[in-house]
């Protein structure tokens, strides 16, 4: 169909507009295409998991060696993987926007409510529903729910084309809340609330130093590195070179670090998983339900309060993701490495990684369905 505007030769220009062409021009842009490397991420994740389990079985001495390489309760091999994994996403953040993002009361308020009210309460409920007869595993799952977003959340946010600047600020803010709230919520959900309900209670004292150390190592170091990298890069070569040349070259490090970390996790814990398949299955049920429900609730609420796709995805992944390194460290430090609580903490990331990888693809599929059509 053509629209034609015709007037005097000296006053008007004849215009022929194809409506279908006009529709293409005004159509909302779709989500950026995934690279081949990212598109087959589930394949690489599965391969890394299988390699880790194989190494734990064929080379049991390797897991013992990896466990011995730690300083102050922090596993050095895993710390290296997490730092490599987090550095590219944090190097991409435009830190000059941080103040404006932190001043967004709607964004900050929703994230804090989801992470510190909804998330722990949901995990508590699911732990009691699925593990009422397993107090040790139940306690471990509750601890996983108290260890809020950090580390891998930045990778999921980047892969889903969320607002990486907002994600970085949300992770930083929630990490500060982590220091203040972890012990308080642990006391409430393990002792106070079960006591009110007449259920079994658990007395536990969490190490504040372990919580602070986890935040400083797994957020502080890569955050400082990201800030310094951007400042030095932009001053030396300019923003265009930094974002168009430098960042694409270091971006694959995030996936390399992720796969390396997964191999290590399954190497360290693969034998325990193989030896306790029933425990793994039982712990996996509330965790899968938690990740799916938190993601769906967070995405729906963010959209309901008027956020676009990028901010909604940032809120959803920071709400659904957990700080597994902190959960494992706290469980081992409080209950012992051979405890059921530590086993549940260990199973946490083994379930979280494949589920959140799947949610990356779900988020990208939902973008044109829920957000872009509504904006047209």
Residue 275, Cβ density class (10 Å: 0-12 exposed, 13-18 middle, ≥19 buried): exposed
Q: What is residue 71's DSSP assignment? A: E
Q: Does 25 map to a domain?
A: no
Give me the pLDDT at residue 27, please. Answer: 40
218, 82 in Cβ contact below 8 A? yes
Give me the pLDDT at residue 186, please. Answer: 87
CATH code for position 84? 1.20.1530.20
Our CA angle for 347, 201, 283, nearest 5°, is: 20
Tell me, yes or no, if the pTM score tops 0.85: no
Q: Does 205 map to a domain?
A: yes
Nearest to 141 by CA among 359, 349, 354, 366: 349
Q: Are strands 70-71 and 2-5 parallel, antiparallel or unpaired?
A: unpaired
Measure the CA–CA gap between 319 and 109, rounded to whole angstroms.
12
User: Which SS3 state, helix, strand or coil, does residue 17 take?
Assistant: strand
Q: Does 26 map to a domain?
A: no
Tokens of 103: 């001043």
Measure the CA–CA gap between 259 and 95, rounded to whole angstroms.
27
Our CA angle for 363, 314, 38, nearest 5°, is: 50
What are 38-58's pLDDT values in tens digits? 667 778 878 888 898 888 888
Give me the pLDDT at residue 33, please. Answer: 55
Measure the CA–CA gap between 286 and 147, rounded to whole angstroms.
16
Give me the pLDDT at residue 375, please. Answer: 52
Q: How many domains does the chain have?
A: 1
Q: Does 185 map to a domain?
A: yes
Q: Does 16 map to a domain?
A: no
What are 7-34's pLDDT values in tens digits? 444 444 444 444 444 344 334 344 455 5
Domain range for 229 is 33-375
Q: Does 133 map to a domain?
A: yes
Give me the pLDDT at residue 96, please. Answer: 81
Q: Does 134 map to a domain?
A: yes
Nearest to 299 by CA among 243, 225, 370: 370
Give me the pLDDT at residue 337, please. Answer: 62
282, 128 in Cβ contact below 8 A? no
- Tell me which residues of the chain have a pLDDT lower than 50: 1-31, 376
User: Which SS3 state, helix, strand or coil, does residue 7 take?
Assistant: coil
- Residue 277, C-beta contacts closer than 8 angstroms, at least 6 positions apart: none
Write out the DSSP string of 326-356: HHHHHHHHHH-TTSHHHHHHHHHHHHHHHHH
Contacts 24+ apart (CB under 8 A), 189-196: 189/120, 189/124, 189/142, 189/145, 189/146, 190/139, 190/142, 193/124
What are 120-176's pLDDT values in tens digits? 999 999 999 999 999 999 999 999 999 887 667 888 888 899 998 999 889 888 888
Catalogue the E-assigned strands of 56-203: 70-71, 74-75
């Amino acid at each position: 169909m053509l629209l034609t505007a015709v007037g005097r030769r000296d006053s008007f220009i004849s215009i022929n507009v194809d409506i279908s062409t006009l529709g293409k021009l005004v159509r909302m842009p779709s989500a950026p295409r995934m690279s081949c490397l990212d598109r087959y991420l589930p394949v690489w994740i599965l391969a890394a998991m299988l390699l880790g389990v194989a190494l734990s079985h064929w080379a049991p001495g390797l897991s013992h060696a990896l466990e011995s390489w730690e300083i102050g309760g922090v596993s050095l091999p895993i710390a290296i993987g997490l730092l490599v994994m987090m550095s590219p996403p944090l190097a991409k953040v435009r830190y000059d926007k941080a103040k404006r993002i932190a001043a967004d009361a709607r964004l900050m308020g929703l994230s804090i409510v989801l992470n510190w009210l909804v998330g722990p309460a949901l995990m508590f409920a699911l732990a009691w529903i699925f593990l009422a007869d397993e107090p040790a595993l139940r306690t471990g799952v509750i601890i996983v729910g108290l260890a809020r977003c950090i580390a891998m959340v930045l990778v999921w946010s980047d892969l889903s084309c969320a607002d990486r600047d907002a994600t970085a600020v949300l992770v930083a803010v929630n990490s500060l809340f982590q220091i203040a709230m972890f012990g308080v919520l642990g006391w409430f959900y393990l002792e106070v609330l079960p006591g009110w309900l007449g259920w079994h209670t658990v007395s536990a004292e969490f190490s504040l130093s372990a919580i602070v150390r986890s935040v400083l190592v797994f957020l502080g170091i890569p955050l400082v590195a990201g800030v310094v990298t951007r400042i030095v890069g932009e001053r030396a070569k300019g923003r265009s070179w930094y974002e168009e040349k430098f960042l694409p070259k270091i971006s694959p490090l995030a996936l390399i670090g992720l796969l390396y970390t997964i191999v290590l996790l399954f190497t360290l814990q693969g034998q325990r998983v193989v030896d306790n398949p029933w425990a793994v299955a039982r712990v996996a049920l509330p965790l899968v339900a938690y990740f799916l429900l938190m993601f769906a609730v967070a995405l729906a609420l963010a959209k309901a309060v008027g956020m676009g796709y990028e901010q909604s995805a940032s809120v959803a992944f920071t709400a659904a993701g957990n700080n597994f390194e902190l959960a494992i460290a706290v469980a081992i430090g409080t209950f012992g490495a051979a405890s059921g609580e530590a086993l549940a903490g260990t199973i946490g990331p083994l379930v979280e990684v494949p589920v959140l990888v799947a949610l990356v693809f779900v988020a990208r599929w939902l973008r044109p369905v829920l957000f872009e059509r509504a904006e047209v």
